[in-house]
Amino acid sequence: MADTDLLIEELSTYLKPKDVEHVRVAIEFSREAHQGQMRQSGDPYISHPIAVARILTPLHIDAQAIIAALLHDVVEDTKVTSEQVAKKFGKPVAELVDGLSKLDKIQFETREDAQAENFRKMLLAMARDVRVILIKLADRLHNMRTLDSMVPEKRERIARETMEIYAPIANRLGLNDLHHELQDLSFKYLRPTRYAVLAKALLVARGNRREVLGKILVAIRKRLAANHIEADVTGREKNIYSIYRKMQSKSLAFSEVLDIYGFRVLVNDFASCYVAMGVLHGLYKPIPGKFKDYIAIQKSNGYQSLHTTLFGPFGTPIEIQIRTHEMHRIAEAGVASHWLYKSGHDSINDLHKKTHQWLQDLLESLSQSNDSSEFLEHLKVDLFPDEVYVFTPKGKILSLPRGATAVDFAYSVHTDIGNRCIAVKVNHELVPLRTELRNGDRVEVITAPHANPNPSWLGYVTTSKARSQIRHFLKTMQSGESALLGERLLNQALQTLGVKPQDMDEARWNKLLRDTGVKTRQDILADIGLGRRLNMVVARQLASISESSANETAANAVITIQGTEGMAVQFAQCCHPIPGDPIVGVIKSGQGLLVHTHDCPTLRRGRSSGEQWLDVAWDKNIHRPFAVNIKLLVADQRGVLAKISAAIAEAEANIKNISFTHEGEYSGLQFTLEVNNRLHLANIMRNLRKIPEVVRIIRVKNVS
């Protein structure tokens, strides 16, 4: 009962008496619903929702959210329904409770699938009403505080989920104290021995350094007062996980982490922040490179402060944060400052707009992920806490995760900019697309109308938006191109059976879709193009011809290769076929059509299961370059490379790559050229043979 009285007492300080009475009713409703239920710790279950509500009271959150916190488990764990909650406490409360309830009544194949779908539901509810996540974070914090009663395996799973998802969400919403406590509690259960050792070492250090820190505190206060700066100065201690992370990242022992303690200076106005910093830089020397201005360029969660590290007495580094009282309120309460400080100030309104935009962007990128592991990967990436701040050509500031590349920047500006990106300038200089961005970089993206995302980008992008948009584009493009190939393969099979493709009317297709359970004709054609379905089987189903009557030995119509099929048709890297080479097509499940030369050693090793071989031929009108490798043995003389390059250029070919080897008096040169066809290659080789220094020239087909 003591906890109930404390909750009512805390709520009475900021809620109207009528609202407090509604909360009393909710407490009794929850107590009755959970009657007879006990927690793993042995406490009555009602102790948990009351504790969750008490965690929220310092944020001065409204009565609806407090009631939802008290009822957050009743629909999930008792016989109470959402309709009953709505009838007694109103629809907004019922919607909050529904957003907090897990999808337990749906059966998932794996725990990962269930986890992904529950997070998806929570984020959707959070986008509608941010109070959902505030209650969920309070719920998770109390569960972490009482995690000792769980079995070790469950403790570790919950702690890992908290460290990877809930603590970063708290950080992203600017809930500073909650973020640090979730981190420390997660660390305690994930690395219990290290946590215990560090906690003990911190306790000892606190006593050893008390006198020095006291002197520094007095010196800072005196210097600020002497310069007529009104300020509240307090000492602060880094949380245990932050200390551990610093030890890990910089390979330090605990005794080498000197800035465990810092100081916070709160002043009255914006200008006093910079004046106070100048005064303190006169008191102790600043450490170069250790100054950060989060006032001019605020963090994406609304955090604003000046950070500087000074050489204190006895060579002790002192970390100081300087900000206004209003900045401090937002730094401590984050998005919850909306309820805590009902001033309607621009900073708070701006923070809410940014939070809403972040949620919309997050949901947009996550909506592209159908796979649960992909969804969780995108979610964790987006919650990555460290940030860099870069500028657009017009001076707008964008925040990106540390390690973000130029491609991430392009997608953060707009999805179409990312998809059409071909080059990028950083600080007016052309750089590779994989270049990692640094604080203060000015980034300009160069686009082309017909450019497309490159699959290799997935190897270095870091933001979930870029990763999901690239994957979505590639899947869509592959599906479309595979469908075109599938249609050609199906038509070939129908002609083999003596059936005209144009005779396959809508009724036959609709029957096939019903029989196979596939949604669209496009899906079937894409499956054929990707090798997931056999063209002959689909043709028989469409033509309603039994397998026994089909003449599989009939002369097949040959598939023509145009070179413009995109991802659906790939040219084998083992033999590099070019127009004019005799070729064979192989369909492997999920990979589409792979074209080899007819004498490719890879083919000679034997057909593997799941492969379908096809007769293919080059289209007569191909207008695109193909990569081909040639190797030359040349006399090692000055100027020979220039002669060879000139001969290749004269034959209107492009050099993509050159590699060298030395063989005594001779050099081996291997070129990757872009040629139109086999005749074009023959002309190039003819030109090269005219060079006296060229001893031998061969085409290299088998390059892995």
| 177 and 153 in a common domain | yes
Do 231 and 324 fall within a single domain? yes
596 found inside a domain: yes
Domain boundary pick from 618, 639, 660: 618
CATH number reported for the structural domain that contains residue 416 in this entry: 3.10.20.30
Residue where a domain terminates, one of 163, 190, 217: 190
Q: Mean pLDDT: which of 4-13, 171-180, 488-497, 619-628 is highest?
A: 4-13
For residue 76, indicate whether it is catalytic: yes
| Spatial separation of the C-alpha atoms in residues 673 and 576, rounded to whole Å | 11
Q: Where are the alpha helices (DSSP H) in 13-73?
A: 17-33, 47-56, 63-70
446 or 358, higher pLDDT: 446
CB of 518 within 8 A of CB of 524?
A: yes
Please check whether residue 688 is in contact with residue 694, taking contact to mean a CB–CB distance below 8 angstroms: yes
Where is 633: in which H helix or E strand?
Answer: strand 626-635
Range of the domain at 226: 202-337
**45 and 179 belong to one structural domain:** yes
Indicate whether 58 and 179 sit together in one domain: yes
Q: Are residues 89 and 107 in the same domain?
A: yes
- β-strand pairing of 666-675 with 626-635: antiparallel
Inside any domain, residue 60: yes
Is the confidence at residue 253, as pLDDT, over 60? yes
Q: Which of 10, 19, 62, 77 is catalytic?
A: 77
Residue 314 and residue 273 in one domain: yes
| Per-residue confidence band for 36, with pLDDT thresholds at 50, 70 and 90 | confident
Same domain, 16 and 160: yes
Task: State how far Cα 606 lies from the chain centre.
Answer: 41
Q: Write down which residue in 439, 471, 503 finishes a domain.
A: 471
Using the predicted structure, report yes or no on whether residue 185 has a pLDDT greater than 80: yes
CATH of the domain at 671: 3.30.70.260
Both 550 and 612 in one domain: the answer is yes
- Inside any domain, residue 342: no
* 546 shares a domain with 495: yes
Q: Which of 92-106, 121-135, 661-675 has the highest mean pLDDT?
A: 661-675
For residue 296, what pLDDT is reported? 83
pLDDT confidence of 552, banded at 50, 70, 90? very low
The pLDDT score that the predictor gives to residue 184 is 93
From residue 259, how far is each of 80, 223, 310, 490 by CA, in Å?
Answer: 52, 21, 10, 70
**For residue 148, how many other CB atoms are within 10 A of its CB?**
10
Q: Is the pLDDT of residue 620 over 50?
A: yes
Residues 510 and 392 grouped into a single domain: no
Backbone angles phi, psi at 41, to 5 degrees: -75, -15
Mean pLDDT, rounded, for 470-479: 74
Question: Do residue 46 and residue 77 come from a single domain?
Answer: yes
State the CATH number of the domain containing residue 38: 1.10.3210.10
The residue that leads in pLDDT, 485 or 466, is 466
Higher pLDDT, 143 or 395: 143
**Which one of 19, 62, 76, 237 is the catalytic residue?**
76
Q: At what angle do helices 82-89 and 17-33 cross, to 10 degrees?
A: 160
101 and 225 assigned to the same domain: no
In a domain, 164, yes or no: yes
Q: DSSP state, 554?
A: S
Residue 365 has pLDDT above 60, yes or no: no
Could you tell me which residue, 130 or 207, shows the higher pLDDT? 130
Residue 197 lies in a domain: no
User: Does 148 participate in catalysis according to the annotation?
Assistant: no
Average pLDDT rounded to a whole number, residues 620-632: 86
Tell me whether residue 346 is in a domain. no
List alpha helices for 191-290, DSSP H.
Answer: 192-208, 210-226, 240-250, 270-283
Task: Return the pLDDT at 114.
Answer: 63
In a domain? residue 311: yes
Mean pLDDT for the stretch of residues 230-240: 86
For residue 76, being part of any structural domain is answered with: yes
pLDDT tens-place string over residues 343-362:
445 555 565 566 656 666 65
Q: Are strands 261-267 and 231-237 parallel, antiparallel or unpaired?
A: antiparallel
Q: Give me the number of domains the chain comprises.
A: 5
Q: At what angle do helices 192-208 and 176-190 cross, to 10 degrees?
A: 120
More confident: 324 or 557: 324
Instruction: Please check the confidence at residue 81 and state whether its pLDDT lies above 80.
Output: yes
Query: Distances in Å between the alpha carbon of 74 and those of 11, 78, 81, 84?
Result: 22, 5, 8, 11
